Structure 1
Amino acid sequence: MAAKNNSYLDQVVAQQAELEEDLRPAFARSAPAPAAMPIPPGAPGPRGALAKRAGRVGSVRENTPQGPVEVRVSGWWRWRTVLVPPNAFVVHTRRGAAEPLHIGLGVSFRFDPTKDSYLVVPGAIQTILINAYCICSELQGVLVQGYVQWIIDDFATAYRKLDFSDPEDPMRLVNVQLREQAEAAIKDKVSTMAVRDVLSDKQPIIEELTARLRTVAEGAGDGARGLGLSIVTVQIKEAVVSSNTLWENLQKPYRSEQNRVARLAELDAQEAVSVREAAAGRAAEQRRIENERELAELRARNDAASFDRESAERLRRTEREHEVNREVADLAQQSALHTLRLEHEQHAEKLDNARREAERAAQRQEADLALAQAKTRVAHEAALLELDRERVGIDNANNRNAATMQAQLIEALPEIVDNLPTPTELRTVQIGGDTTGLASVVAQLSDIITAIRKTGQS
């Protein structure tokens, strides 16, 4: 049967290897790392957060840019000038000088590479993340997570007592040392506390950790014994029990109590709800009975009112029908009287028309008689005129001679000429003989016709 692995021992071994690697100086980190404590056969390597933390030793440093502080160096050979950013500490020393030539925050200076040296360190606040695997007084594993923020307070003391020689990250070794001191302080404090105290009240751990770090960094009132650093804040973010079984067992009493309280509250709520539902049911039934009674009374009142309205309406309709019948009888009587009156008027009008027609007939007879007399008289006068005209014609015929006939012919010539057809062409054929007589006659006739036309137009 294989022996059980000691996971806590594996964690301690992994942390020890990482710490040794972190504490090695920059010039020694390129050499092969010394062999770590051997791990028992069959034991698993670091897992979870430890594996990430162990793998962070080499990989992160390879990708870190050279120099966290951007320092500009201008000039040539021995006449150079170093320009330091305003948020960085610098110390400038020269060969043969017992004290630094320049020291402070953001101090720029002239630099001779043949005999000068300088160190630039960031002046911003540094944050250290802490993951302390602790053992409490009940011998149970607890993971305490927190962070520490610190800043350089006295650089003249800090650069002498701390190692800022790492060109990639001058604060790396200082952060590693402070982190290890913080983890040791947390482990010491947690070892004297119970699991419930660690989980419920983290203030004792914060106070212990703050006191120890300030004693180391600030000297606890004696600045000469400090490191020239100032602790800004110390916080514990979380404490987690490593064993899942223990964590569940710790939660069970509270969960059971909460379940009991919740169940009792549920029973109380159900009882209150049942009582309230019974009261609400009774009240609803009472309201329903009252509503039914009110509805019955309202229906009875509505039926009575409806019956009264119907009776009044029937009486009104009967009275109205009697009135209408009387009005119809009156209208019929008036219509009969009006009809008789119209018939009497029409009979009188017919008599009057007959009388007028007889008068018009008598007048027409008189007019026809007068017209016949007038026609007879006119005919007689016309006959007499015709006889006179015939007598005058006979007398004229008797008195007509050659000159008169020639004058009548001349008067009729224009009408004769107008009725003659218009010639389209004139052809003259001379067979023989003398034609001058005929031409002269035609010319004379044309002149006479033209003179007559002018006389008629004037």
Structure 2
Amino acid sequence: MNSMRNEYLDQVQEQQQRLEVDLKARKMNVPMTNMPQQAAAPRRRGGFAPTPPESPGGNAVDVRITGFWRWRTVIVPPNAYVIHTRRGHDKPLHLGLGVSFRFNPATDSFLVVPGAMQTILINAHSICRELQGLLVQGYVQWIIEDFATAYKKLDFTDAEDPMRVVNVQLREQAEAAIKDKVATMSIDAVLSDKQPIIEELTARLRQVAEGGGGSDKGLGLRIVTVQIKEAVVSSARLWESLQKPFRAERERVARLATLETEEAISRRELQVEQERSRSRLETESELSVLRSQKEAESYDREQAERLRRQHREEEDARKLAVERQQSTLQYAELEKARLAVEAELAQRKHEVEAAQRKRDAQASISVLDTEREAANRQARVELELLEARQRVLNELSPANLQARLVELLPTIAEKLPQPQELRSISIGAGAGAQEGQALTTLVAQMMALVKALRPELEPPPAVTRPPEPPR
């Protein structure tokens, strides 16, 4: 029994349920406006006023109500329709998109409806003309076009989801239209072409939502788009039976194509093998002919090369003998030229050595002359110095000599040896006489000393200048 179940159908249904749960969960998880809890004003989720704050969910509009008691203000989001009525007024006070207004709970009432586009998911379990079950999946997107008409004819009073009732009604009408259209079509037409279903469904929904073109404006809604996503056969066995002809045909075509391909490949392989064998034989024949030609050409070339080498060797031997003879003669001439060059070099060497010796002798003579001239200049300078000294000594008079001795007495006294003891004998009358006598005695001693040194101070005899050496 489990093997007969339509697993694809189960998967589609499971995906559809999961999608609805996810959409519902995302709507319920929409965060509220971040406001302090103490300053947050009471909120209302669509429907008629006033109601206590409720948790967000569904398609409810987040309406903010500020103020207190009779002095309240309703702040409506810019993407929501609102209608505001008051007791005693036959027409609404405010009607439009995103209109905020003052609100008195005692006399006023208002209705807020989302203005965004709505999407209805459709799962229509239909029966085709062959009395077989089909699951047609699609979706319808609609939007409010004339809210002044829509709020009078549709029910938007659900506090959690003002669009829930309208969506259910439209979904039921869409499923009915799909079932009616599928009942007149064959299963092959439903599976292959879904455009008739889309056209029928679009016409019916627009007739209901938008009206027929007369005075009746319909429900004040506008159908945006209608699409059919899938059409699934409910019976797994029927689905397999529908696929068998196509699969068999495809298998037959594939098998025939395989056989034709194999046959074509076999023929082609035989042709290629024959052409290959023929080409091989022709190539071998041509190669044998070419090989024999090449061998003959190679033999002729070798013989010609052998003769050429023989002639070349004989010619080279003759040239070598001639070159050797010429080389011998050239060697003898070169040897003779070498000997002549060596003799000339030896003669030039003797001449260079003689010139060098002559230059050395001249250089030594010049050096000796220079040394003699320097010695003569030194002798002349010394002689001039002696003459000057002699002139100075000759010009000294006895008075000058005594004056110089007097000047030199302290120096001479310092250089005289120190006496070990001093004995003095005073003969005379007083100390003054003794002092004068001592001075006289000292002068007499100094004069005796000068006389003793006089021969040393006399000028030496005149020196005759030696003759200058020849230059």
Under a length normalisation based on structure 2, what TM-score does the superposition of the two structures give?
0.59
**Aligned position for 1:269:** 261
Change (3 A) 1:344 1:162: closer
> How is 1:155-194 mapped onto 2 (pairs within 5 angstroms)?
155-194=147-186
Deviations 1:15-41 (A, max 9, x none): xxxxxxxxxxxxxxxxxxxxxxxxxxx
Partner-residue secondary structure (3-state), 1:170 = coil
**Aligned position for 1:255:** 247
| Unpaired runs of at least 5, structure 2 | 31-55, 344-414, 420-446, 467-471
Change (3 A) 1:346 1:50: closer
**Aligned position for 2:436:** none
**Aligned position for 2:229:** 237
Identity %: 57
Counterpart code for 2:233: V
Deviations 1:139-188 (A, max 9, x none): 43322110011111221121011111123322121111111221222233
Identify the range of structure 1 (277-286 vs 298-307) with the bigger mean alpha-carbon deviation. 298-307
Deviations 1:189-241 (A, max 9, x none): 33343332221222232233223322322233345372222222211110112
Choose from 199, 204, 209 the match for 2:196: 204
**Alpha-carbon deviation of 1:289?**
3.1
Does residue 330 (structure 1) correspond to residue 341 (structure 2)? The answer is no
- Counterpart CA distance in 1 for 2:338 and 2:20 is 141
**Alpha-carbon deviation of 1:242?**
2.3
**Aligned position for 2:113:** 121
- Counterpart CA distance in 2 for 1:91 and 1:227 is 16
| Unpaired runs of at least 5, structure 1 | 12-46, 353-425, 431-435
Counterpart code for 2:182: V
**Aligned position for 1:221:** 213
Change (3 A) 1:440 1:289: farther
Partner-residue secondary structure (3-state), 2:142 = strand
Counterpart code for 2:170: L
Choose from 143, 146, 150 the match for 2:142: 150
> How is 1:20-419 mapped onto 2 (pairs within 5 angstroms)?
48=14, 65=56, 68-71=60-63, 73=65, 78-222=70-214, 224=216, 226-335=218-327, 337=329
Deviations 1:274-310 (A, max 9, x none): 2222222222333333333443344344434433433
Change (3 A) 1:222 1:326: same
Counterpart code for 2:133: G
Deviations 1:337-391 (A, max 9, x none): 5677789999999xx9xxxxxxxxxxxxxxxxxxxxxxxxxxxxxxxxxxxxxxx
- Counterpart CA distance in 2 for 1:316 and 1:142 is 103
Counterpart code for 1:158: A
Change (3 A) 1:201 1:322: same
Partner-residue secondary structure (3-state), 1:224 = coil
Change (3 A) 1:197 1:448: same
Aligned length: 338
Change (3 A) 1:92 1:345: closer
Change (3 A) 1:337 1:159: closer
**Alpha-carbon deviation of 1:270?**
1.4
Change (3 A) 1:90 1:328: same
- Counterpart CA distance in 1 for 2:157 and 2:332 is 148
**Aligned position for 2:382:** none
Change (3 A) 1:316 1:448: farther
- Counterpart CA distance in 2 for 1:76 and 1:214 is 44
- Counterpart CA distance in 1 for 2:86 and 2:80 is 20
- Counterpart CA distance in 2 for 1:120 and 1:303 is 110
Under a length normalisation based on structure 1, what TM-score does the superposition of the two structures give?
0.60
**Alpha-carbon deviation of 1:81?**
4.6
Identify the range of structure 1 (52-61 vs 271-280) with the bigger mean alpha-carbon deviation. 52-61
**Alpha-carbon deviation of 1:267?**
0.9
- Counterpart CA distance in 2 for 1:119 and 1:273 is 79
Counterpart code for 1:95: R
- Counterpart CA distance in 1 for 2:15 and 2:339 is 138
Counterpart code for 2:281: I
**Alpha-carbon deviation of 1:452?**
7.9
**Alpha-carbon deviation of 1:130?**
0.9
**Aligned position for 1:33:** none
Change (3 A) 1:348 1:227: closer
Counterpart code for 2:148: A
